[in-house]
């Protein structure tokens, strides 16, 4: 109508706009803690980063502030369960992850939870390592929103790629700072006819190319990548989720990667977790399959329970192959084998290490003991890193690979399925011949 003005468009939130400007810095980052004294400022910056990043990959925002208003609104209606309930009471992350209420595709919110504050035990939990590793594997982004004064925050930051400092947050120099948003208060709105020439907000980026290529913690970054990387990633996103994965709720929304994060299947034998043969000896790591196979032929072909685990190391996802042998329920057996291999000259005096690798890919169960060697030989001839473990009932299970986390097994799973096999994630059980 004549004389009626159109409604003014909504004013963008300045903090969120700063997050949008920061977003390109996070193309090589898979996990970060966004920190501010003002919980909503931290949440808004994280949202700005997330909205841009979600155009190309899945993003999860975890509220560790006790309830940042922006994130509470995006979580939508529902029960009060959240991060603290998952860590303290075992509620599945599948149950607490919620698609953003504003309909932003590929953006999921992990609410704070029923506790008014996040306990220190949650921040110190090594489960964050598994979450960060899973997001790195899935090519996704996990942003944790926290208050600057939160106790034990340092224990959380070191398990991620680094921190984002917002406003006047006091960030220790030893932390890996990915970016910093300056603390400036926007000026008052200009009156009619008044020209406003000064930009109210600015970003001071302290990230560099080297910081963007930060090395993900070695203990959680052992995941293989190669020619089938995209196939593996697609499969991860579609597979049934584990409790330790950050999944999508049961809705029509796309699944988010997850933890341990990624979308990884549950082990098919959960009751065996307490009796898993989780200890092994890591003999050598090479950056080619040829190198690993050559080492095996020359030094390790006769070792019990030997297998090659294709993995990924570092933020650059460089493909490596780790040769591991043995399977023990306690560390004593692994220590003895490592000492013997060094004494016999198979390994140098400072080479090798004992590792905890409870997960493997189960190829076949219930195999008669007498038939197991031939079946393993047939699999090895096909390039499958198979090995046999005798079970308590005298039968044999055939496995491939040995992994620290469930997520680390996904790439080998993809390769084996491409080769026509049907592996299942499982806890390693049994003993070597």
- Each residue of 85-142: pLDDT tens digit? 788 777 777 677 888 888 888 888 888 877 767 788 888 888 888 888 888 888 889 9
When comparing pLDDT for 257 and 4, which is higher?
4
Q: What pTM value is reported for the model?
A: 0.45
- Confidence at residue 124, expressed as pLDDT on a 0 to 100 scale: 87
- Confidence at residue 118, expressed as pLDDT on a 0 to 100 scale: 79
CATH number of 14-183+202-238: 3.40.50.300
pLDDT band at 402 (very low <50, low <70, confident <90, very high): very high
Residue 336 has pLDDT above 70, yes or no: yes
When comparing pLDDT for 390 and 238, which is higher?
390
CATH number of 270-427: 3.30.70.1070
Domain with CATH 3.30.70.1070 in the chain: 270-427
Residue 409 has pLDDT above 50, yes or no: yes
- Confidence at residue 71, expressed as pLDDT on a 0 to 100 scale: 85
- Confidence at residue 202, expressed as pLDDT on a 0 to 100 scale: 33
Query: Which pLDDT tens digit goes with each residue over 43-56?
Result: 899 999 999 998 88
- Confidence at residue 210, expressed as pLDDT on a 0 to 100 scale: 33
What average pLDDT does the structure give for the chain?
A: 76
Residue that the structure tokens 């369960």 belong to: 81
Domain with CATH 3.40.50.300 in the chain: 14-183+202-238
- Give percent of the chain with pLDDT exceeding 90: 29
- Confidence at residue 254, expressed as pLDDT on a 0 to 100 scale: 40
Mean pLDDT, residues 369-397: 94
- Confidence at residue 316, expressed as pLDDT on a 0 to 100 scale: 58
| Range in 13-17, 137-141, 311-315, 385-389 with the lowest mean pLDDT | 311-315
Residue that the structure tokens 């905890």 belong to: 356
- Confidence at residue 242, expressed as pLDDT on a 0 to 100 scale: 35
Both tokens of 267, joined, read: 């082990």
- Confidence at residue 228, expressed as pLDDT on a 0 to 100 scale: 35
Residue 256 has pLDDT above 90, yes or no: no
* Angle at alpha carbon of residue 286, lines to 426 and 409, rounded to 5°: 20
- Confidence at residue 77, expressed as pLDDT on a 0 to 100 scale: 62
Residue 360 has pLDDT above 60, yes or no: yes
pLDDT band at 386 (very low <50, low <70, confident <90, very high): very high
- Confidence at residue 182, expressed as pLDDT on a 0 to 100 scale: 66
- Confidence at residue 138, expressed as pLDDT on a 0 to 100 scale: 81
């Amino acid at each position: 109508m004549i004389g009626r003005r159109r409604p003014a468009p909504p004013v963008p939130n300045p903090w969120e706009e700063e997050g949008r400007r920061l977003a390109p810095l996070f193309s090589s980052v898979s996990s970060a803690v966004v920190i501010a004294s003002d919980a909503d400022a931290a949440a808004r910056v994280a949202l700005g980063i997330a909205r841009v990043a979600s155009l190309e990959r899945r993003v999860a925002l975890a509220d560790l502030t006790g309830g940042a208003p922006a994130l509470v609104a995006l979580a939508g209606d529902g029960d009060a369960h959240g991060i603290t309930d998952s860590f303290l009471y075992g509620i599945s992350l599948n149950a607490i992850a919620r698609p953003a209420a504003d309909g932003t595709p590929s953006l999921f919110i992990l609410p704070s939870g029923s506790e008014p504050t996040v306990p220190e035990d949650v921040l110190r939990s090594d489960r964050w390592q598994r979450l960060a590793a899973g997001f790195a594997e899935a090519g996704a982004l996990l942003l944790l929103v926290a208050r600057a004064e939160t106790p034990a925050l340092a224990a959380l930051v070191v398990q991620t790629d680094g921190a984002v400092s917002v406003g006047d947050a006091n960030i220790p120099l030893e932390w890996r700072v990915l970016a910093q948003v300056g603390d400036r208060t926007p000026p008052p709105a200009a009156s009619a006819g008044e020209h406003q020439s000064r930009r109210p907000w600015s970003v001071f980026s302290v990230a560099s190319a080297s910081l963007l290529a930060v090395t993900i913690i070695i203990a959680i970054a052992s995941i293989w990548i190669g020619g089938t990387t995209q196939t593996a990633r697609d499969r991860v996103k579609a597979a049934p989720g584990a409790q330790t994965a950050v999944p999508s709720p049961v809705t029509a929304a796309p699944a988010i990667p997850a933890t341990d994060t990624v979308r990884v299947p549950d082990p098919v034998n959960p009751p065996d977790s307490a009796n898993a043969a989780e200890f092994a000896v890591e003999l050598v790591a090479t950056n080619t399959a040829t190198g690993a196979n050559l080492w095996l032929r020359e030094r390790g072909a006769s070792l019990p329970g030997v297998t090659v685990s294709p993995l990924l190391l570092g933020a650059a996802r460089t493909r490596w192959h780790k040769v591991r042998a043995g399977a023990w329920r306690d560390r004593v057996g692994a220590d003895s084998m490592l000492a013997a291999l060094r004494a016999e000259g198979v390994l140098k005096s400072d080479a090798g290490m004992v590792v905890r690798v409870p997960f493997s890919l189960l190829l076949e169960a219930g195999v008669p003991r007498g038939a197991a060697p031939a079946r393993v030989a047939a699999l090895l001839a096909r390039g499958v890193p198979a090995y046999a473990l005798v079970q308590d009932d005298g039968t044999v299970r055939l496995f491939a690979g040995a992994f620290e986390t469930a997520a680390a097994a996904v790439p080998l799973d993809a390769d084996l399925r491409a080769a026509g096999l049907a592996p299942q994630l499982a806890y390693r059980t049994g003993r070597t011949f």
